Amino acid sequence: MPGDTRTCENCGFESRSGLRFCPNCGASLNKVQSQTETRNPYRILQISNDAEAEVISAAYRSLAKKYHPDQNKSFQAETRMRDLNWAYDLLSDSIRRKAWDMEASNRNRREGQDGTFRQQASRQSRHSAQTPDPKPKEHERQKKESNGFNILALLFILVFLAFVCANSQSDRQTSSSPASNWVAPTSTLIPTSVPTARPTSSPFVSYKDPACLSAFAVTQTYVGRVICVYGVVDKVNQTPEYSTIIRLRNSGAGQNEILFLSQSWVWPDLKRGDCIQASGRVFLTASYMYISLQDLYLSNSC
């Protein structure tokens, strides 16, 4: 019936539209789940709903490494790995992902309408259950007066504490040496999802290290080696699993895409168009070649 969640056991497509056959592969939608059992692929991979393909792939590899049954012996590892595979397969297919997003949007809209109707019905039932009292009760008047007094007392205490703190700070400033001229350091906000952070400003180099290679000159012969690479930043992403994902600009047709992945560092001041020199170990996947960052510098020579 409409509203029930049906899942295709062949390709994993989910529907609450009353369909009995999968629009992707034609298989029967014969597995019915309750509304609370609906899985969210974005929540499973711990990414945002607008995440791009490289972010999805990076998040999947990190979580799969963590929950693979060969590495994780907990009883939940197999179930978690099955959910990760389902979420990655769904989001990697643009057609299935678009269909899932549309279905999720319709489901959220229906749930919001149901919640509004329930709230209206609850307010009406409470209103009908109350009987009007023509005369205010004495204890209600006393309660209002007591609340007003408590608010005034709280405001007085807050003003007093602010005055005491201001005087205390003034005393500390006057007692310190006038020659010190201490200035409070500034700070740059770092996303809370990043476990640790590198200094907010990378060192700047005004030359190109002769040992550095162009990012698109890196071939499979460098896989497993730590090398120095330079190039122009095309895109910078930050994810919960990887602090920074840097994609370099493709300088020609038919060349492989090069990504720099940083497990625990973040550069908030890094932006598109920056010239960088970086070092790290080269790895190769079925989709692209990436470099696990060990160090990175801003440069003016690319």
pLDDT digits (tens, 9 = 90+) for 10-43: 555 666 666 777 777 777 776 544 433 468 999 9
User: First-to-last CA distance in the chain?
Assistant: 61
Q: How far is CA 68 from CA 15, 78, 79, 283, 287, in A?
A: 29, 7, 10, 20, 21
Q: Where in the chain is the domain with CATH 2.40.50.140?
A: 204-299
Radius of gyration of the chain from Cα atoms? Answer: 29
Tokens 């389902």, located at residue: 86
pLDDT in tens, 70-92: 888 776 788 888 999 999 999 99
As a whole-number percent, the residues of the chain with pLDDT over 90 amount to: 24
Would the pTM of this model clear 0.75, i.e. be above it?
no
Report how far residue 240's alpha carbon sits from residue 243's, in angstroms, rounded to the nearest whole number: 6
Q: Where in the chain is the domain with CATH 1.10.287.110?
A: 5-107
Task: Name the residue among 40, 29, 41 with its Cα closest to residue 4.
Answer: 29
Residue type, 43: R
Higher pLDDT among residues 142 and 49, named by residue: 49
Q: Cβ distance 255 to 288 under 8 Å? A: no
Q: Cβ distance 265 to 295 under 8 Å? A: no
Q: If pLDDT is split at 50, 70 and 90, which confidence band does 68 have? A: confident
Mean pLDDT of the chain: 76
In this predicted structure, what is the pLDDT of residue 156?
84
Burial class (CB in 10 A: 0-12, 13-18, 19+), 276: buried
In this predicted structure, what is the pLDDT of residue 60?
92
In this predicted structure, what is the pLDDT of residue 124?
67
Report how far residue 232's alpha carbon sits from residue 228's, in angstroms, rounded to the nearest whole number: 14
In this predicted structure, what is the pLDDT of residue 178?
37
Higher pLDDT among residues 116 and 102, named by residue: 102
Say whether pLDDT at 183 is over 60.
no
In this predicted structure, what is the pLDDT of residue 185?
31
Q: Which CATH superfamily is domain 204-299 in?
A: Nucleic acid-binding proteins (2.40.50.140)
Say whether pLDDT at 215 is over 60.
yes
Report how far residue 134's alpha carbon sits from residue 265's, in angstroms, rounded to the nearest whole number: 67
Report how far residue 13's alpha carbon sits from residue 20's, in angstroms, rounded to the nearest whole number: 12
Q: What element of type H or E holds 60?
A: helix 53-67
CATH number given to 5-107 = 1.10.287.110
Residue type, 82: R
Q: If pLDDT is split at 50, 70 and 90, which confidence band does 59 have? A: very high
Q: If pLDDT is split at 50, 70 and 90, which confidence band does 168 have? A: low
Strands (DSSP E) found in the chain? 5-7, 14-15, 31-33, 204-205, 213-214, 226-237, 244-248, 258-262, 275-284, 289-299
Q: Cβ distance 266 to 189 under 8 Å? A: no
